[in-house]
């Protein structure tokens, strides 16, 4: 009997060890928050030949867009897998929307670079080509060999994951720093193994005669404490950018404090922002200001809702700029429709 029990313990230990090794491999190992130099690349020249810097535009057009990995409604796992043709069509639509806007800078969140769930398409490069922006700074914030989500059925699992954010630019990118922020402590440790990092992505864009610092962020969606800590850290990053005009934007996952509704949404009845100070924290810095005035928002709030795209009921996406810029215009790009679960924001800025 004792011999049998010893064998049983050995087999159980081996099974546990194999399970741990498998989980570690699936998650891509233990990954912690960190700051690192991001990659930068330029698309090969097209029919027009080598890149030639245009004069600095009278108006700098900036687009902020959470792509939701080009899935559309249900991107958080409720919709099931989509075929390659779905992503081809969606990215083509996104590319046409961006090309028509003629942007100088595009700040993207939830971009897949080579993920099984979106069939390995480099979405940043695809949209850069379609929108005529030759310079790309991709920031990887979610890397795993196999993500077992949604949990059931296994055929719906996301699988291999390389995803994050990207800045697309008409002008050369000279510096790229990525900061991956701590994951929510409210999540179980095993859940955080597969959970994406939230981040701040900082690039320097070299326009003719003027360097511009661009800060692209995606803050925590589900844990308010983590989101507030991230907002404080982003504010520190913004206040450290003192050598150039700053453009800051992204998905803050929080509505402005003057929103007429801050809880009880039809799509997410459990979501409650009544004690959330994320936007106030970021508005509290002198480094940048919201391009959308609070009085403009409160006069017609529904005009500024960006989420969910299928029936928008709150604003989660923002463009801020330093006082070196004059805000010419800002609008929600409703022509994007339901390509993503977010609607993009477009701001036209003029250097003073």
Q: Are residues 55 and 16 in the same domain?
A: no
What CATH number should be reported for the domain holding residue 295? 3.60.10.10
Q: Are 182 and 214 in contact (CB under 8 A)?
A: no
Say yes or no: 5 and 89 in one domain: no
Per-residue model confidence (pLDDT) at position 80:
87
- Give the per-residue pLDDT at 1: 67
Burial group, residue 277, by CB count within 10 angstroms (0-12, 13-18, 19+):
middle
12/127 same-domain check: no
Q: Does position 78 have pLDDT exceeding 80, yes or no?
A: no
- Domain check: are 22 and 44 in the same one? no
- How many Cβ atoms are within 10 Å of 146's Cβ, its own excluded? 18
Do both 25 and 111 map to the same domain?
no
Closest CA to 218 of 106, 77, 65: 65
Sign of CA dihedral 273, 184, 251, 27: negative
For residues 15 and 136, membership in a common domain is answered with no
What are the angstrom distances between the C-alpha of 109 and each of 14, 139, 188, 274, 302? Answer: 41, 10, 25, 25, 23
User: Is residue 58 domain-shared with residue 1, that is, in the same domain?
Assistant: no
pLDDT tens for 166-211 read 999 999 999 999 999 999 999 999 999 999 999 999 999 998 878 9
In eight-state DSSP terms, residue 314 is: B
Do 24 and 64 fall within a single domain?
A: no
The answer on 205 and 78 residing in a single domain is yes
Is the model's pLDDT at 32 over the cut of 80?
A: yes
Q: How far is CA 306 from CA 28, 85, 207, 254, 344, in A?
A: 33, 26, 30, 11, 7
Which residue has better confidence, 7 or 179? Answer: 179
The reply to whether 168 and 305 lie within a common domain is: yes
Same domain, 177 and 304: yes
Give 48 or 336, the one with higher predicted confidence: 336
pLDDT in tens, 303-347: 999 999 999 999 999 999 999 999 999 999 999 999 999 999 999
Domain of 87, in residue numbers = 32-351
Do the beta carbons of residue 262 and residue 312 sit within 8 Å?
no
Residue 135 has pLDDT above 60, yes or no: yes
Same domain as 193, residue 87: yes
Greatest alpha-carbon pair distance for the chain in Å reads 85
The yes-or-no verdict on residue 144 having pLDDT over 80 is yes
pLDDT digits (tens, 9 = 90+) for 107-116: 999 999 999 9
Min mean pLDDT across 49-53, 119-123, 321-325 is at 49-53
Residue 55's contacts (CB-CB under 8 Å, 6 or more residues apart) are 208
> Per the structure, how many domains does the chain have?
2
Closest CA relative to residue 302, chosen from 261, 266, 268: 261
């Amino acid at each position: 009997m004792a011999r049998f029990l010893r064998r049983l313990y050995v087999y159980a230990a081996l099974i546990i060890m194999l399970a741990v090794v498998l989980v570690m491999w699936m998650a891509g190992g233990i990954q912690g928050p960190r700051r690192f130099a991001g990659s930068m690349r330029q698309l090969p020249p097209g029919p027009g030949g080598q890149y030639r810097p245009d004069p600095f535009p009278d108006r700098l057009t900036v687009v902020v867009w959470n792509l939701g990995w080009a899935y559309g409604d249900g991107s958080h796992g409720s919709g099931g897998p989509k075929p390659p043709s779905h992503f081809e069509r969606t990215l083509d639509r996104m590319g046409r929307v961006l090309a028509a806007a003629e942007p100088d800078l595009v700040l993207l969140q939830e971009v897949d670079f080579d993920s099984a769930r979106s069939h390995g398409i480099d979405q940043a490069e695809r949209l850069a080509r379609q929108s005529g922006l030759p310079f790309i700074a991709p920031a990887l914030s979610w890397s795993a060999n196999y993500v077992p989500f949604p949990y059931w059925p296994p055929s719906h699992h996301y699988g291999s994951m390389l995803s994050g954010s990207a800045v697309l630019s008409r002008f050369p990118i000279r510096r790229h720093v990525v900061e991956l922020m701590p994951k929510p402590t409210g999540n179980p440790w095993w859940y955080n193994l597969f959970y994406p990092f939230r981040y701040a992505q900082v690039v320097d864009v070299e326009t003719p005669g003027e360097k511009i610092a661009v800060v692209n962020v995606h803050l925590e969606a589900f844990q308010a404490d983590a989101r507030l800590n991230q907002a404080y850290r982003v504010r520190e990053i913004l206040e450290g950018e003192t050598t150039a005009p700053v453009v800051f934007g992204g998905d803050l996952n929080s509505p402005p404090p003057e929103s007429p509704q801050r809880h009880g949404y039809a799509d997410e009845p459990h979501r409650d922002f009544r004690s959330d100070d994320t936007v106030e924290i970021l508005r509290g810095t002198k480094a940048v200001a919201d391009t959308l005035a609070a009085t403009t928002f409160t006069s017609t709030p529904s005009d500024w809702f960006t989420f969910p795209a299928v029936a928008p009921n709150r604003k989660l996406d923002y463009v801020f700029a330093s006082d070196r810029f004059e805000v010419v215009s800002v609008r929600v790009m409703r022509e994007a429709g339901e390509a993503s679960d977010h609607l993009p924001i477009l701001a036209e800025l003029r250097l003073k």
